[in-house]
Amino acid sequence: MSWKSVTDENSHGIVIYNYHPNAREEPYMMPLTVGDSVRILEEDSDWYYGYRLGSRKTKGAFPKSYVHIKDGSEGPITKEIAEVLKEWGVHWKRLYVSHDKHFDQIKSQIYDLISYRSKILSGTLPVDEMKRLTKRATEEIDMGNKILGLDLVVRDKNGNLINPSESSTIQMFNLHKQATERMSCKVKPDVKEVQPKTAIQQYSNIFLVAVRNFTCKMSEDAELLMTLYDGKECKAITENYVVRWTKEGLMSDLDQMYNLRVMFTDLGKRDLEREKIFLICHVIRVGAMDIKECDHRRTSVSGLAKKSSNDNMRRPCGVAAFDITNYMNGKLDTDLDQEFAVPFVSCEKDNLEQTLRKVITKERFENKNQALFVSMKLLRGDLKQVINLYGTRCKRAQSGNNVRNNTNYPCSED
């Protein structure tokens, strides 16, 4: 046999047939099971030489025809994460059996690495976000290896693995020493504390709102006009999202019952750092004018016709407003499973603008019996990125044409 090294692009494969050689007659052959991931080190005309991921110490030869070579488009960090997860899985089971105190921590780090790998493979991250995630992933790997008592991996300043064959012994020693010192003073929570500050620097953000219900005693149909509102400058910063609501307490289009979602897009750093920002909802009544006491002596057919022509008059009904400042600047986080009740205040003798200003300055008491129920979440990235990362929850809003732009864009990046 004439063995030769394989390139990185052809070094990862998936087993497609079971291979069970006789251990006594063929001790240098490595058994394989369908679905195993293998790392290939060398090859000849008919055979590969390597090891199964998660079992690096056991190496052997196996037939080429039993392995399918994976696409080499994955970056080195995604391959490393996959190998680490395989290796950690074995040790994690051991921690569970022994009731080790590090079980939950390793579990959390495994989930974090899976999330990082998924985002990196999406191919939608900007360069700065890719660097940040790569750095976070390598730190998680190094910390987990230290907890599990595994070998410390030596890296350069960018988190890339160092090839020992291309570095001197002294250089490897210094890098290993630096890595050890870095891990000794590393505290995981510190990394997460700075994440909101880093995330707010994204060039584009999206605020996703899902309308759950609207409870209000109405004798007419209504329109709910939702937007994001700057409480200091007293102006809307996004386009309106309109939901038509019937007097029976249901949305007009029942086909949209579980699809009342809107994405307020193009929100930049300036928008997220506004001093006061609200999610507001103007409620407009749509129907006939108030019925006045009529003179039966003057009742006529023409009078009835005139009455029916006013059936679609639009008049102010009230306002609902919710302070979302802390959710926009990253101090608080929320999810679409969490529901908020936004109190509704009727206009009475004021117009919509006057009522809104009283609500946001807390001159009105909260009305618990009448409210707009919503869920919301701030998403990092532009429209294409969040659809790839968050999937169905954003595709529903896009498919329903429920995307509302920032009225100040692109001037929001001061």
113: which residues sit within 8 A by CB, 6+ positions away?
81, 84, 85, 137, 140, 141
Mean pLDDT of the 193-220 span: 71
Q: Give the percent of the chain with pLDDT over 70.
A: 77
**Arithmetic mean of pLDDT over the chain:** 79
> In this structure, which amino acid lies at residue 222?
A
Q: What is the pLDDT of residue 348?
A: 78
Q: Which of 48-52, 161-165, 362-366 has the lowest mean pLDDT?
A: 362-366
Q: Let me know: does 334 contact 307? Beta carbons within 8 Å.
A: no
Annotated domain spans of the chain:
4-69, 76-193, 202-290+307-404
Q: What is the pLDDT of residue 226?
A: 93
Spatial distance between the Cα atoms of 406 and 206, rounded to a whole number of angstroms: 10
Comparison of pLDDT for 169 and 388, the residue scoring more: 169
CATH among 1.10.150.250, 3.20.20.20, 1.20.1270.350, 3.60.21.10 for 76-193: 1.20.1270.350
Q: Report residue 392's pLDDT band, with 50, 70 and 90 as the boundaries.
A: low
Comparison of pLDDT for 8 and 394, the residue scoring more: 8
Q: Which of 27-41, 71-85, 93-107, 182-196 has the lowest mean pLDDT?
A: 182-196
Q: What is the pLDDT of residues 307-334, one digit of tens each?
A: 455 667 888 889 999 999 999 888 888 8
Q: Let me know: does 214 contact 317? Beta carbons within 8 Å.
A: no
Spatial distance between the Cα atoms of 372 and 374, rounded to a whole number of angstroms: 6
Q: What is the pLDDT of residue 194?
A: 40
Q: What is the pLDDT of residue 77?
A: 83
Comparison of pLDDT for 170 and 1, the residue scoring more: 170
Q: Report residue 290's pLDDT band, with 50, 70 and 90 as the boundaries.
A: low
| pLDDT at 268 > cutoff 80 | yes
Q: Which CATH architecture has domain 4-69?
A: Roll (2.30)
- Sign for the pseudo-dihedral over CA of 366, 368, 372, 373: positive
Q: What is the pLDDT of residue 152?
A: 74
| pLDDT at 43 > cutoff 70 | yes
| pLDDT at 368 > cutoff 60 | yes
Q: What is the pLDDT of residue 254?
A: 67
Comparison of pLDDT for 85 and 180, the residue scoring more: 85
- Domain spanning 202-290+307-404: CATH superfamily: C2 domain (2.60.40.150)
265: which residues sit within 8 A by CB, 6+ positions away?
204, 206, 382, 383, 403, 404, 405, 406
60: which residues sit within 8 A by CB, 6+ positions away?
28, 29, 30, 49, 51
Q: Which of 117-121, 252-256, 357-361 has the lowest mean pLDDT?
A: 252-256
Q: Report residue 53's pLDDT band, with 50, 70 and 90 as the boundaries.
A: confident
Q: Report residue 10's pLDDT band, with 50, 70 and 90 as the boundaries.
A: confident
Mean pLDDT of the 68-83 span: 78
| pLDDT at 228 > cutoff 50 | yes
User: Of the candidates 45, 43, 36, which has an alpha carbon nearest to the alpha carbon of residue 68?
Assistant: 36
